[in-house]
Amino acid sequence: MTLHKGASPSDRKQTGHPVNPFYGEADPVAGMETAPPRHTLPDGPLAPHAAYQFVHDELMLDGNSRLNLATFVTTWMEPQAGVLMAECRDKNMIDKDEYPRTAELEKRCVAMLADLWHAPDPSSAVGCSTTGSSEACMLAGMSFKRRWMQRNQDRYPGSARPNLVMGANVQVCWEKFCNFWEVEARTVPMEGDRFHLDAASAAEQCDENTIGVVAILGSTFDGSYEPVADICAALDEVQKKRGWDIPVHVDGASGAMIAPFLDPELMWDFRLPRVASINTSGHKYGLVYPGVGWALWRDTEALPEELVFRVNYLGGDMPTFALNFSRPGAQVAAQYYTFLRLGRAGFRAVQQATRDVAGSMAERIGALGDFRLLTRGDQLPVFAFTTADDVTAFDVFDVSRRMRERGWLLPAYTFPPNREDLSVLRVVCRNGFSMDLADLFLADLEQLLTELRQQSGPMQRPESVATAFHH
């Protein structure tokens, strides 16, 4: 999480303002007169209704999540899911003996995903829930590294240094993995109109110290799917020529819950023998509120047994693979609810509706004439666009900032190497972002453009920075 500093001198100087008497006790003698300090633990307690009101009021300044086109994370669930989650909020996922039914639901979710992702033998596929895709990717990366170490005990530690091959468009979790676990990140830069990893460059980067290749379904930068099957085929060639058997991990944070329903013919999952592991974010297109991800391995061979811990001090003896210990169980119950509630047909309908909204928005934005589409929302329901070549009056950062005035969070950011020259806007369509909201968005954008076209040039701003969180 954000690494915060303690209170600054000016923070500490702040004294509480008088409290609205209606918030607490209207009687100033019995109740509070001044608000508690904000940067030191208050000396005494506060009545629950007053404390609630303080926190509630401050949070009003957070954005409206439904108008946020930057995030991939679920911002709407059915009321029943909310009730279920409230019922489970005291359940600790790690305590599998105390909460055997929660553990059972997790197991069923893993089994359903193994089936959905075509594990060759679902009974030997292994997997677990995680806090999100980031933790899932760490676990998959650790399995890669450990398997490579087992094959290279004579050279590591010592002369060999492990590396991981991926596109420069990877989500930041892979840079974290490489940093934390001391693996060289071999990132393939973008070139021209290629905005993600391609098979030839992936194969070129590999050597005997490559622990694996990460293929993304799909890229957070533009919503495009990486060619997983081609990457696997290129690695088959590498194996034939050089003898290196390099496994692939599919980072399906978003796409692993889109492709099975909307692109059933696309070969990207365990049907490809080289795919050793897959992750997804239950809280993205798995349609659950934040805090859940999934990691699956095609079989027990892909997940070294020595990484698995068996804890017995809570009673029971369950194998676990996780970075965290305690974790909320509510998200797992909510994931199972979503699977049960929608089924394949329901997921197909929901994801198709989302992709339809994305496609329609992309088409309409493309037709405005001011923009050039990089993607069309026909893979992930996500698309990126930039200003048309002849547009000189404004740039993508102007559009992002001005749309914010109307309540829309539309991120603008620059691409990674070697296309840092390219700045884009990106729209992430999610369940709950209806065609009605898309119409309102387009109307606001069109109205804004009549103003922006009058500018003499892009607004000045400090050395270009992204305008909103875009991962």
| Closest distance of CB 283 from ligand PLP, Å | 6
| Inter-CA distances, 384 with 44, 262, 334, 359, 375, Å | 51, 20, 31, 12, 6
| Closest distance of CB 195 from ligand PLP, Å | 14
Return the number of the residue (382 or 399) whose C-beta is nearest ligand PLP: 382
What CA–CA distance (Å, rounded) separates 67 from 53? 24
Residue holding tokens 């399906």? 252
Structure tokens at 137: 């990717």
Residue holding tokens 């954000």? 2
| Closest distance of CB 347 from ligand PLP, Å | 18
Return the number of the residue (102 or 279) whose C-beta is nearest ligand PLP: 279
Return the number of the residue (35 or 288) whose C-beta is nearest ligand PLP: 288
Return the number of the residue (23 or 285) whose C-beta is nearest ligand PLP: 285
Sheet bearing 423-428, strands edge to edge: 371-373, 382-387, 423-428, 412-414
153 burial (CB, 10 Å; 0-12 / 13-18 / 19+) is exposed
| Closest distance of CB 138 from ligand PLP, Å | 10
Return the number of the residue (134 or 187) whose C-beta is nearest ligand PLP: 134
Q: Which amino acid is at 424?
A: V
Which of 203, 202, 131, 119 minimizes the C-alpha distance to 167? 202
Residue holding tokens 């008497």? 21
| Closest distance of CB 250 from ligand PLP, Å | 10
Asked if residues 252 and 132 have their Cβ atoms less than 8 Å apart, the reply is no
The CB-nearest residue to ligand PLP is: 132
Extended beta strands in 202-330, E state: 210-216, 248-251, 275-281, 293-297, 309-311, 318-320
| Closest distance of CB 20 from ligand PLP, Å | 38
Return the number of the residue (24 or 255) whose C-beta is nearest ligand PLP: 255
Phi/psi region, residue 280 (left: phi>0; alpha: psi -120 to 50; beta: rest), is: beta
Structure tokens at 31: 């109740």
What CA–CA distance (Å, rounded) separates 89 from 84? 9
Return the number of the residue (211 or 452) whose C-beta is nearest ligand PLP: 211
Return the number of the residue (50 or 183) whose C-beta is nearest ligand PLP: 183
Residues that bind ligand PLP (CB under 6 A): 72, 132-134, 137, 171, 173, 216, 220, 251, 253-254, 281, 293, 471
Q: Which residues contact 149 (CB under 8 A, 6 or more apart)?
A: 156, 162
Task: Provide the angle, in degrees to the nearest 10, between the axes of the packed helices 330-367 and 435-452.
Answer: 50
Chain centroid to CA 254: 7
| Closest distance of CB 330 from ligand PLP, Å | 16
| Closest distance of CB 221 from ligand PLP, Å | 9
| Closest distance of CB 351 from ligand PLP, Å | 16
What CA–CA distance (Å, rounded) separates 346 from 351? 9
Number of residues that make up the chain: 471
- Residue 297, strand partner residues: 126, 277
Write the DSSP symbol of residue 305.
Answer: G
| Closest distance of CB 255 from ligand PLP, Å | 8
| Closest distance of CB 253 from ligand PLP, Å | 3
Return the number of the residue (323 or 350) whose C-beta is nearest ligand PLP: 323
Return the number of the residue (290 or 407) whose C-beta is nearest ligand PLP: 290
Return the number of the residue (394 or 413) whose C-beta is nearest ligand PLP: 413
Report the run of H or E that residue 365 belongs to, with start and end: helix 330-367
What is the signed CA dihedral for 105, 108, 112, 118, rounded to 10 degrees? 140
